[in-house]
Each structure stands twice: as structure tokens, then as C-alpha cells.
């Protein structure tokens, strides 16, 4: 069986994701489609609109055959480790091809760009611009111009993430073939829809919070899951809803203990504490903390690490650069189960179909992640989600 892999967040699943999924199957002629999906927090450090079990349902209902969890230690990280974790999981599962969306749509162009940007001379150029006071993204754009690449090619968000996927394949010496599809109609940063059928996940989340109609941008089964979640919990998973819990954590930890949290560096623990003392909302807090050096995305990841108590020492001990140490199955179709059975003897890491309290520390940390994520939910939903973390078997979906 030929396996194609996607690296996703589905926050939430929308028509653009459906296009990516179906076109990837067509382009690769795959027999089985495997998605590696972030759990409860995204790469940009945001809580997901729905929990991982509900987003697994969305993926299976719309064409995925296996849904594998990208552990928090990788999912809420800078792009290099995010990509390395996901690519290593796809490699463990003997995936033939990884297909990602990009603004370029030209895999040869992106492979060439990755080769140059990972080189010593390019990295020296980036450091030179950083030393002038530019932020890392702006320094990267200046270096691209020095090497006669358009700024857009190397700084467009999906192109950039694609470069890290290509780099991870190379550094892990993975046999996976890499391909790309052109992202159509919307940019992931769009705050409002720009097309009548395909819109960014950001704009869909905004529409949902505003109680506006988003039905034309998502499959019907996705809208049903979103509507049912809100009907039961009357809750949106946004940083604003987590703000009281974040405030309590920061002000009770104090700077002395905040410095132990992963990604807290260069005295920012004092800035976090003093800003939180004066802030009455998450947006006010963000405005007070972020700088050229500390972007919104990085601050959000720090906030997620604070909520989940993810420490520097714990991350260091995991040796993330070597790749994910296990595979955790969240859901499968009969085709996915058949594929997993056919390769199981050749997979060199544990495959968890259920939480194992004696499992890898990275797996056990998911309990803390779920506890943080579930904290805003009313009872009994909060307790039920925490129980699901260690009691759920993979979701089964008959297509």
C-alpha cells in the first residue's frame, strides 16, 4: 500500500484543507492517507478551537485514514522542531510521500531555496542583519534579497514551513519524497474571508466567535461538530478565555520560577510578571509584552508552556532533535488499520493505541496539556476530557 502523509492542525478543518487532502491523494496516487495532527495547542502557541478527539473526527470524516498525534513537545515549538517531530513520525510509519501546501507550488524551487538558506553563508548574512537590530524575520528577508531571491518566496508562511519540512527530511535522512500543492484563495493570516468557499482557519474562528455564518467555508460535518461543542459547553477556546488561568499562574509562579519555563530567556520573566500585574485582558497583556525580539507567536508559546508547566529542563532531557520516540494513534478507518497492521513489525518505536502511564515522558506530559486545555470547560466536560486522555481508544470511522 502506498502511503501519503500530511502535517496538519485542522483548527478547524475547512474547505481549503479538504482541497489539500483530496488533491494530495490524487497527486500521489495514495492507497492510504496519514495525517500527523497537533494536539491541544498549535505551532503558533494557540489553544485549538476544538479538542484533539473532535478534530480527529473531522479528519476521518473527510478523507484521512490514520490520525496520529504530534506531541505537545513538538507541536508548540519553533518551526524547526515542529517539522522534525512530524516528519520523524511519518518516517516511522514508512510514508512514501509528504505533501504540503505552499504559496510557491513549485517543489524544485523550494528544494533549491532550502539548500541555500541552510548554508553557512546565508546564516552569516542573517546574523549580520540581526546585529543591526532587525527582528529575525526581517533579517531573513534582507538575507534573501542578498542572495537574489524574492522576499516573498522565502518569507511567505507556507513556503517557510515547507522549507523546514524539506530540511527535516534531509537532516533525519528520511527516504520520504517531498511534494507541494499551491495554496489557493486565502492566506492563513486573513482575518476575514476573501473568497466565497475557501477561507483561512483564522477568519473562520473569528466568524464563529462573532456568531456569524461560516457554513460556506467548512464541510457540513465540521459545522455540526462545532455547533454541538458550543451548544454543550457555551465556550470558545481562545487565549482570552484562558486569561484568568494564565494570570493566576504567572502571578503565583513569580519571576524566580518563570525563568524555569521553556523558552523564557533574557530576563523576559520580569517583563511577563510586571505586564500581567497591570493587564486586565490577554490582548492588553500581549501589547505590553511583545517586542521586535519577542513576537506574538513566541509569547503565545511561552504562555502555553506556563499553563502546561513545560520546563526547560524537561525539554532539554527529551533530545527533540533526534525525532519523536513513539507514535500515538488517535483515530483510524479500516484502510488505516489494515495499513498499520501491514507495517507494524517494521516500526522501530512504540505505537500507542491508548495512553500508557508507564510510557515515554513525552506521552505522560499530555495529561498536563489536557488539564490546562480543559480548565475553561464547564463540568462535566472538563472532567470528561481529562478522563478521555488516559481512557480513550483510537476513534474508529467507517467510510
User: Is 146 annotated for ligand binding?
Assistant: no
pLDDT score recorded for residue 190: 57
Nearest CA-CA partner of 390 in 362, 361, 372, 366: 366
Nearest CA-CA partner of 99 in 3, 1, 2, 5: 5
* DSSP 8-state secondary structure symbol assigned to residue 41: B
pLDDT score recorded for residue 357: 83
Contacts of 133 (CB under 8 A, 6+ apart): 292
User: Is 13 annotated for ligand binding?
Assistant: yes
Is 175:98 a contact under the CB 8 Å cutoff? no
User: Is 16 annotated for ligand binding?
Assistant: yes
Angular region, 185: left φ>0, alpha ψ -120 to 50, beta rest: left
Which position has the higher pLDDT, 197 or 7? Answer: 7
User: Is 9 annotated for ligand binding?
Assistant: yes
User: Is 328 annotated for ligand binding?
Assistant: no
User: Is 305 annotated for ligand binding?
Assistant: no
The dihedrals phi and psi of 114, each to the nearest 5 degrees, come to -65, -40
Quick count: other Cβ atoms within 10 Å of Cβ 224? 14
Is 325:348 a contact under the CB 8 Å cutoff? no
Report if pTM > 0.85. Answer: yes
User: Is 284 annotated for ligand binding?
Assistant: no
**pLDDT tens digits for range 89-143:** 999 999 999 999 999 999 999 999 999 999 999 999 999 999 998 877 788 888 9
What is the overall mean pLDDT for the chain?
92
**Which ranges of the chain does DSSP label H, i.e. alpha helix?**
15-28, 52-61, 72-75, 79-92, 107-117, 120-130, 136-146, 151-155, 157-171, 201-209, 220-233, 239-258, 268-278, 282-289, 296-308, 312-318, 334-343, 361-374, 381-391
**pLDDT tens digits for range 332-382:** 999 999 999 999 999 999 999 988 888 899 999 999 999 999 999 999 999
**Which ranges of 215-360 does DSSP label H, i.e. alpha helix?**
220-233, 239-258, 268-278, 282-289, 296-308, 312-318, 334-343
Query: What 3-state class would DSSP assign to 209?
Result: helix
Amino acid at each position: 500500500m502506498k502511503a501519503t502523509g500530511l502535517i496538519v492542525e485542522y483548527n478547524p478543518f475547512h474547505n481549503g484543507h479538504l482541497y489539500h487532502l483530496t488533491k494530495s491523494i490524487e497527486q500521489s496516487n495514495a492507497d492510504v492517507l496519514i495525517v500527523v495532527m497537533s494536539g491541544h495547542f498549535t505551532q503558533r502557541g494557540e489553544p485549538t478551537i476544538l479538542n484533539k478527539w473532535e478534530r480527529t473526527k473531522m479528519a476521518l470524516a473527510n478523507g484521512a485514514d490514520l490520525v496520529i498525534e504530534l506531541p505537545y513537545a513538538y507541536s508548540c515549538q519553533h518551526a524547526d522542531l515542529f517539522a522534525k517531530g512530524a516528519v520523524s513520525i511519518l518516517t516511522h510509519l514508512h510514508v512514501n510521500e509528504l505533501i504540503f501546501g505552499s504559496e510557491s507550488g513549485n517543489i524544485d524551487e523550494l528544494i533549491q531555496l532550502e539548500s541555500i538558506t541552510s548554508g553557512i553563508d546565508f546564516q552569516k548574512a542573517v546574523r549580520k542583519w540581526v546585529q543591526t537590530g532587525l527582528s529575525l524575520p526581517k533579517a531573513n528577508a534582507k538575507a534573501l534579497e542578498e542572495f537574489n531571491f524574492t522576499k516573498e518566496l522565502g518569507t511567505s508562511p507556507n513556503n517557510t514551513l515547507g522549507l523546514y519540512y524539506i530540511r527535516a527530511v534531509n537532516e533525519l535522512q528520511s527516504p520520504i519524497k517531498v511534494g507541494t500543492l499551491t495554496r489557493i484563495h486565502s492566506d492563513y493570516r486573513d482575518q476575514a474571508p476573501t473568497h466565497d468557499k475557501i477561507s483561512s482557519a483564522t477568519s473562520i474562528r473569528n466568524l464563529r466567535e462573532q456568531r456569524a455564518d461560516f457554513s460556506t467555508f467548512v464541510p457540513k460535518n465540521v459545522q455540526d461538530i462545532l455547533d454541538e461543542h458550543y451548544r454543550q459547553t457555551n465556550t470558545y477556546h481562545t487565549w482570552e478565555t484562558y486569561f484568568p488561568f494564565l494570570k493566576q499562574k504567572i502571578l503565583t509562579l513569580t519571576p524566580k520560577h518563570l525563568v524555569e519555563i521553556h523558552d523564557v530567556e533574557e530576563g523576559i520573566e520580569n517583563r511577563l510578571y510586571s505586564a500581567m500585574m497591570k493587564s486586565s485582558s490577554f490582548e492588553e497583556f500581549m501589547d505590553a509584552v511583545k517586542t521586535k525580539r519577542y513576537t506574538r507567536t513566541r509569547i503565545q508559546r511561552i504562555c502555553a508552556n506556563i499553563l502546561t508547566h513545560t520546563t526547560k529542563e524537561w525539554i532539554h532531557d527529551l533530545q527533540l532533535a533526534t525525532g519523536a520516540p513513539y507514535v500515538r494513534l488517535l483515530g483510524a478507518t479500516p484502510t488505516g488499520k489494515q495499513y498499520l497492521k501491514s507495517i507494524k513489525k517494521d516500526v522501530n518505536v512504540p505505537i500507542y493505541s491508548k495512553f500508557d502511564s508507564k510510557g515515554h515522558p513525552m506521552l505522560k506530559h499530555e495529561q498536563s496539556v489536557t488539564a490546562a486545555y480543559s480548565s475553561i470547560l464547564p463540568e462535566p466536560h472538563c472532567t470528561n476530557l481529562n478522563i478521555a486522555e488516559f481512557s480513550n481508544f483510537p476513534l474508529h470511522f467507517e467510510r
